[in-house]
Amino acid sequence: MKLNEAVSQRLQELLKERGMTQYQLSMKSGVPKSTIGNVVNCMYDSVKLRIIHELCQGMNLNISEFFNLPMFEEENLEP
């Protein structure tokens, strides 16, 4: 799996778990809804860590919790 796909999948899981829409996350995090949509739809080859950090803040989540999954382990990511 590519890193941007893993980030997209994780973000979608978190939104579903929290019952949040992309719009609600945008309002809470300050990240434009269009940017969130682009992350979800893998429109970026890479996502800035600052954006992920702001999204995590909007979901009251530590950034380490965002990445603490097997999908983010090196052997599970494509170069």
Q: Are 6 and 72 in contact (CB under 8 A)?
A: yes
Give percent above pLDDT 70 in the chain. Answer: 100
Tell me the pTM.
Answer: 0.93
DSSP 71: G
Q: What pLDDT digit, counting tens, does each position of 14-48 carry?
A: 999 999 999 999 999 999 999 999 999 999 999 99
At 27 the pLDDT is 98
44-76 burial by CB neighbour count: b if 16+ within 10 A, else e?
eeebeeebbebbbebbeeeeeebeeeeeeeeee
**Distance between CA atoms of residues 19 and 16, nearest Å:** 5
